[in-house]
Amino acid sequence: MDLEDYLRGRRLRIRLHEESYDISLFEEGQGTEGAFAVIDYRGERTVVRRTRDDGSTMDRFRMLSVDADLPMDLVGLLAYLSGALAKAGIPIFVISSFRTDHIMIKEEHLAKAMEALMELGVELVHPNE
């Protein structure tokens, strides 16, 4: 499905999650309970989980999720969103799930990212809405 056809007559909604997240390499003994995502690739395991307030100095990320069940044959949505974020100089970490896509953004870039997405005409849904 072409992105232009998908967007015709609808407004793209992106949900900002309240929680912050850490993205790290799995370490022995760490466990993956409660992780949002675990990605195994070539012997490397990446773990995405809610930030724990343990004094860690890791970068904190916020998650923006496309607030829709996306068709599996949709072409170009991530290019559309990531292109706007790239133009604004914002690095991203993307996770696709069965129904939708999630974009992880460092907290320090969040305001600028939201501004870039709003310039596209994206409706931002804030936590608890």
| Domain, as residue range, for 76 | 3-125
Here the tokens at position 71 are 């068709």
Predicted local confidence at residue 126, as pLDDT: 85
25-39, 50-64, 83-97: lowest mean pLDDT where?
50-64
Indicate whether 60 pLDDT > 90.
yes
For the chain, what is the mean pLDDT?
91
Q: Indicate whether this model's pTM tops 0.95.
A: no
Q: Is pLDDT above 90 for 13?
A: yes
Residue 80 scores a pLDDT above 70: yes
Instruction: Tell me how many domains the chain contains.
Output: 1
User: Are 86 and 79 spatial neighbours (Cβ–Cβ below 8 Å)?
Assistant: no
In this structure, are residues 89 and 106 in contact, taking their beta carbons and an 8 Å threshold? no
Q: Which candidate, 78, 65, 68, 18, places its Cα nearest to that of 37?
A: 65
29: confidence class by pLDDT, cuts 50, 70, 90: confident
Q: For residue 8, give both structure tokens.
A: 């015709």
From residue 17, give the alpha-carbon distance in Å to each of 7, 27, 40, 65, 110. 23, 26, 24, 8, 11
Is the CB of residue 72 less than 8 Å from the CB of residue 99?
Answer: no
Q: Stretch 10-18: mean pLDDT, rounded?
A: 95
Domain CATH number, residue 109: 3.30.2130.10
